[in-house]
Amino acid sequence: MTDTAAYATLETIDGRPALRFERWLAYPIGRVWRAVSVPAELERFFPGAADWTPAKGETIEIGGAIVEVTEVEAPHRLAWTFAGQPQSFELVEAEGGCRLVFTHVIDDLPAAQTATGWQIYLSRLEPHLAGGYLSEEEAHEPWKDIHEHYAERFGVDPEPGRRWAAENLPADRG
């Protein structure tokens, strides 16, 4: 993986640690909006895709956690809280396509492991927009390398993520 511009940054939002991913996509903003807001499209690349409208104030249960939609400004911003952690998509028209920014306030989640997971899921968006499909299994193949990069970049202990990978990923991944 050589395109470090595609990696997340670790920031602080309202005093809380947050991951910020920024991508330029060669698709019109309306197309990308559909991909991030329509359940049948969202489930093609995003974990735990919700069956939602989405509408401000809407609540959904996913895997025992509550998702509350906090903002919907089609086709520019979609925000929600998942288990108390704010997450959002922001879309901005850009020459030849749009800029997508995904943000997740992570609180006490392990930064390197969480960033790796989001990087994997977001890597499935562009193939979907192009009419293809990148399976979750294929997307997870570089998990270990991506995780090591984030652990080094964020200056965090890589062992929790390594343990998670050993317990949850096939031995040939990475």
- Residue range 7-51, pLDDT digits in tens: 899 999 999 999 999 999 999 999 999 999 999 999 999 887 778
Q: Which residue has the tokens 């317990």?
A: 167
* Extents of the domains making up the chain: 4-168
Q: Name which of 20, 31, 81 is nearest 56 in CA terms.
A: 81
Percent of the chain with pLDDT over 90: 82
Q: How far apart are CA 69 and CA 80, in angstroms?
A: 4
Tell me: domain 4-168, CATH 3.30.1180.20, correct? Answer: no
Largest CA distance in the chain: 43
Cα separation, 143 vs 116, in Å, equals 7
Residue 4 has pLDDT above 50, yes or no: no
Residue at 125: amino acid letter: L
- Gap between the Cα atoms of 84 and 134, Å rounded: 29
Read off the pLDDT of residues 85-111 as tens digits, 9 standing for 90 and up: 999 999 999 999 999 999 999 999 999
Beta bridge partners of 90: 77, 101
Give pLDDT, residue 114.
Answer: 95
